[in-house]
A = this chain, B = another copy of it.
């Protein structure tokens, strides 16, 4: 980037004066490069930030935002840098606010089943502390070791256990945020029921740092499950998949924690990535990984096997393998989790995270594939997802790979729009999906989002360019 302007220099001097030099990094060293070089779907040429600030407390965050507000300096909050849509990409000449030094677990309240944490605590640290208290924090993602609670909140993270425990939104009881002008708003609520006025925390959860910056949160903990039962099943039709899901929800009740569907092309690639021989033979049109997290060591295993037997007898499930040990549980999950490494076998692809109303998922997948073939003159798509949550993932490439990734994007998102789906199930919008937001939101919804944005961040310093597409001219 260019040398700082004199206005930027005045801002930096003031920031270092108030925060102390150890919390601000303005020289172009390796760390600045690390923060600046987040993978960038927009491929902008210059993303070099002015500086990085490392607050150690809520008061520090307030100081930073107050000064940015005064000096009109754009602020990009950053956590573990594991986001999928470019929400943490800095703007040239703006300030990066990294939460990575705010990593204190402040309290576990066993009676209330809550944990109070700073925003920079990694997800895995929360999981481990809960476990040490004989409790359970159910959010889980592949990036658990790096991603931070603040980022999980900013993106309303999902993952594999949403069916049973909800998304991050449902796991946040209390929140502290700093508004654009530096105002601290604190509600470290531990209570499940609290209808005292507007439940404002929901405005910030999932807003990707564009409305305020989360500094602390009270998380909801659960009892630790005592049993895990997992099976992998082969099925012939999507109607059979839906019938299996309906009955599994009914028979397993609150214990059903995952119902992952893999289309056969995905399975055939996945078994080449996971170690060992395939747990089920290839060739079934659909594979379902079903998991129940239970509490009854005596009966849960038998109940799970009864469910499967019933479906095998009725031929809805053609074949099934039930994990008999923790190692086998891991082995079955490894098939599904190979989604992070598909490119090793499938080659580079464009990946999608979308939602489609559950009953339409198979028809959507077929339609989407045929649209891709038509648009690209060929190509392939691997399809898999958390279908009980309506959430589908696709890995797509044309006959020439990802050469025409813009066309692949446009084709898939048009299909999502036409099937009444959401262009983002769990990854958020960031910059990567911003221009497609009108495919899943009406103009009046986007106007409402802008109204909220203007009200909370009137000068537009918070993570500019993220989430919201350009405003309609009638409202500007």
Contact = CB atoms under 8 A, between A and B. Distances in A.
A196 B354 CA distance: 9
A429 B359 contact: no
B390 A193 contact: yes
Nearest to A253: B295
Given A223-B250, A296-B303, A429 B390 contact: no
A187 B357 contact: no
Given A112-B390, A202-B202, A455-B451, A250 B197 contact: no
Contacts of A205: 199
A386 B298 CA distance: 29
Nearest to A85: B195
Interface string A170-205: 100000000100011111011111111111101101
Interface in A256-288: none
Size range of the interface on A? 35 or more
Contacts of A433: 196
B253 A158 contact: no
Contacts of A158: 193, 195
A428 B192 contact: no
A454 interface: yes
Contact of A225 (B253, B441, B448): B253
Contacts of A442: 185-187
Interface string A393-422: 000000000000000000000000000011
Nearest to A201: B202
Nearest to A427: B195
Contacts of A391: 191-193
A224 B207 CA distance: 34
Contacts of A424: 194-196
B296 A423 contact: no
A253 B223 contact: yes
A120 to B, nearest CB: 22
B253 A294 contact: yes
Given A198-B467, A200-B449, A254-B164, A441 B187 contact: yes
A234 interface: no
A191 B425 contact: yes
A302 B299 CA distance: 10
A294 B251 CA distance: 9
B448 A179 contact: yes
Contacts of A250: 223-224, 226, 295
A161 B357 CA distance: 26
A106 to B, nearest CB: 15
Interface in A224-239: 224-226
Contact of A206 (B112, B167, B195): B195
Given A194-B425, A197-B468, 20 more contacts: A110-B359, A162-B192, A187-B442, A187-B445, A191-B422, A195-B206, A195-B427, A195-B428, A196-B422, A196-B424, A196-B440, A196-B441, A198-B206, A198-B467, A223-B249, A223-B253, A296-B299, A298-B306, A299-B302, A455-B455
18 contacts: A111-B357, A162-B193, A164-B254, A183-B444, A187-B442, A190-B390, A193-B386, A195-B424, A196-B423, A196-B441, A197-B446, A197-B467, A197-B468, A198-B452, A223-B253, A251-B296, A296-B299, A298-B306
